Amino acid sequence: MNEIRTIPAQTSGSAVASLIFGILAWVFLPLIGALVAVILGHIARGEIRRAPRGAIEGDGLAIAGLVLGYVQIAFCVLVLIAIVLALAIGVGLLSAS
């Protein structure tokens, strides 16, 4: 019998880890989790692109991890700017009195 066996595609471990760290960035590890999510997301996308077509899945997971990571990094930067401005205004008001 001629039987065609297909090997199921594997999901990229880096893509899964990117998504997990992207979620953790919003729950427990704000900046560190975001940086890890972005790094792993880029690694996963490269791994998926270099593999033969259909051999490795998880591009959507990697993109989700990248988006969560980049948005968290932007949010951290905005919060840092707000804190610096609040401190600068507060110090300016105290020294003007």
Dump pLDDT digits (tens) for 15-46.
999 999 999 999 999 999 999 999 999 999 99
**3 occurs within a structural domain:** no
**4 occurs within a structural domain:** no
**69 occurs within a structural domain:** yes
Q: What is the pTM (predicted TM-score) of this model?
A: 0.85
**46 occurs within a structural domain:** yes
Average pLDDT value over all residues in the chain: 91
**47 occurs within a structural domain:** yes
Interaxial angle between packed helices 13-27 and 30-50, expressed in degrees from 0 to 180 and rounded to the nearest 10: 160
Please tell me the distance from the alpha carbon of residue 36 to that of residue 79, in angstroms, as a whole number: 20
* Predicted local confidence at residue 97, as pLDDT: 60
Please tell me the distance from the alpha carbon of residue 77 to that of residue 16, in angstroms, as a whole number: 25
* Predicted local confidence at residue 1, as pLDDT: 57
* Predicted local confidence at residue 5, as pLDDT: 65
Closest listed residue to residue 25, CA positions, set 13, 40, 12, 42: 40
* Predicted local confidence at residue 96, as pLDDT: 65
Total of domains in the chain: 1
**1 occurs within a structural domain:** no
Residue 10's Cβ-count burial label (10 Å; 0-12, 13-18, 19+) is: exposed
Percent of the chain with pLDDT over 70: 93
**40 occurs within a structural domain:** yes
- Structural domain of residue 26, as residue ranges? 10-96
**63 occurs within a structural domain:** yes
